[in-house]
Amino acid sequence: MAGIRLICALLLALVSGPGLAQAEDAPRVPGSWAEISLSFAPLVKEAAPAVVNIYARRVVQARRSPFDGDPFFGGLFRDFGAPRPRVQNSLGSGVIVSADGFVVSNYHVVGQADDIRVVLNDRREYQARVLIGDEEADLAILKVDAEDMPFLPLRDSDTVEVGELVLAIGNPFGVGQTVSSGIVSGLARSGTATGTGRGYFIQTDAPINPGNSGGALIDVAGRMIGINTSILTRSGGSNGIGFAIPAALVAQFLEQARSGKTVFERPWAGATGQPVDADLSDGLGLLRPEGVIITALHPASPLAAAGIAVGDVVVEVAGKPVNTPAEMLFRMSVQGLGKTVEMAYLRNGDVLRSSVALIAPPDDPPSERRVLGERDILVGLEIARINPAVSNDLGLPLTKDGIVVLQPGPLGRRVGLQTGDVIRRVNRFVIQSPADVGPALRQAAPNVQIEAERDGQRLILRFRA
């Protein structure tokens, strides 16, 4: 022990020599044996009660009868290949973010569950229900009926810096609550860089293993800066590249859940764009690659209404730099609907600024959603007119128009229709509105031919009705 103290004293003498004095608040080596003995234990003791284990249960049908929904053979073979219920269980983590029982977790942990139990580290258990779940963001807000719950305060994730010490708290592999430490190793991770193809993340080297999903990434002050969600791995284990959803987006989810929303509403840009790489930068005459170049705009786009045009390069949203479409959408989403955000963009070498309204995708022209009934040929087929709201829900291109399949129904699925197919013709009848589909199918019977479009490719489906 005396030898270790002597080594520490020599190190302190070396670093505190003339010319190497550091400012009071600058990073420095430990100044005493007490500082060397510091640990994260007090921080963990304070934060851990707000991180919970989540047990989710879902009942699914393991098999479907090949005659399910068939109007002719369904009755005769009612018991043939009857669906048998099967229970799927998932295990993950969550974080209590308010004293009145709001809990945040990942959508992939709880989004499809029929029964959810939240277990605190003091072994108290509560039933929970999902208020908002969003698969694209991989976030869900749960509610338990309890008061005076331990919770973690949210930190503004825009203030997080690379190199900060962080702790990841969760329930990996179901072994119980565990804590791992690391640093923030990257910011503004999005798209294919994360291995997920979506989202906007904080990167950390704190180990995140299966079951840690939905757990907390906290700073040394005990504030939550993100929700652990995924790892980038080739072996299945943690390789020191983990990703967390920033607390700024969690705060927006929580705000919408408190206001009674059941679906997360994100602003609609009505635009497509791509990152500016070195080649584009040279062609545009930019000093360096930066921003997102706008490649298409919907006529109703709020960006177009603000004066932004195709070919402009958006470099800032709400005062923060953006370099990918995912980052741009994130910056808009954390502001919330009904507000305005300032965007800075480049045009012909000039920096311009505009205030852009954050609006939901408009349901205009009206979608006229319709479900075919029992007297129609393809009972259960749900169709709608394509508009910005429908395109946004289905991920269709901005320029797409026509009548789209929302749900094919059991018979539509059998003849080959899929969600997102655009129906152009039924036999010789041109489909111009959802109301045309049912009558056109009846008139075409018994030999029906549907001309549709899928992923830009023409599709012909023939069947006997």
pLDDT tens figures, 395-425: 899 889 999 999 999 999 999 999 999 999 9
Judged against a pLDDT cut of 90, whether residue 57 lies above it is answered with no
The four Cα atoms 333, 334, 337, 342 give a dihedral, to 10 degrees, of -90
Containing H/E element for 406?
A: strand 403-407
Asked if 326 and 199 touch (Cβ cutoff 8 Å), the reply is yes
Q: 180-205 as b/e, with b when 16 or more CB fall inside 10 Å?
A: bebebbbebbbbebbebeebbbbbbb
In degrees, rounded to 5, the angle at the alpha carbon of residue 354 between the alpha carbons of residues 353 and 355 is: 135
Mean pLDDT of 367-391: 94
* 365: preceding bond cis by omega (within 30 degrees): yes
Tokens for 312? 């402009």
pLDDT the model gives residue 233:
54
pLDDT the model gives residue 283:
84
- Could you tell me the pLDDT band of residue 3, with boundaries at 50, 70 and 90? very low
Q: Which residues contact 234 (CB under 8 A, 6 or more apart)?
A: none
Asked if 261 and 252 touch (Cβ cutoff 8 Å), the reply is no
Residue 223 to residue 426: CA distance in whole angstroms = 58
Return the bridge partners of 293, or none: 274, 313
**Catalytic residue (choose from 90, 108, 205, 367):** 108
Residue 165 to residue 177: CA distance in whole angstroms = 20
What homologous superfamily is domain 157-258 in, according to CATH? Answer: Trypsin-like serine proteases (2.40.10.10)
Tokens for 296? 């298409």
Architecture of domain 370-464: Roll (2.30)
pLDDT tens figures, 285-322: 888 899 999 999 999 999 999 999 999 999 999 999 99
pLDDT the model gives residue 412:
93
Pure H helices in 263-321? 278-284, 302-305
Q: Is the dihedral of CA 404, 407, 413, 419 positive or negative?
A: positive
Pick 271-357's CATH classification: 3.20.20.150, 2.60.260.20, 2.30.42.10, 2.30.140.10.
2.30.42.10
Tokens for 298? 């919907």
Tokens for 274? 């791509």
**pTM of the complete model:** 0.78
- CATH 2.30.42.10 segments of the chain: 271-357, 370-464
Mean pLDDT of 77-91: 58
**Catalytic residue (choose from 157, 213, 301, 354):** 213
As a CATH number, domain 49-144 is 2.40.10.10
| Angle of the 325-333 helix axis to the 247-258 helix axis, nearest 10 | 40
Judged against a pLDDT cut of 60, whether residue 196 lies above it is answered with no
- CATH 2.40.10.10 segments of the chain: 49-144, 157-258
Query: Could you confirm whether 108 is annotated as catalytic?
Result: yes
pLDDT tens figures, 428-459: 999 999 999 999 999 999 999 999 999 989 99
**Catalytic residue (choose from 138, 205, 219, 421):** 138
* Burial grade of 459 (CB within 10 A; 0-12, 13-18, 19 or more): middle
Nearest to 351 by CA among 290, 279, 272, 278: 290
For 146, 156, 328, the CA distances from 53, given in Å and listed in that order, are 16, 25, 33
Asked if 390 and 370 touch (Cβ cutoff 8 Å), the reply is no
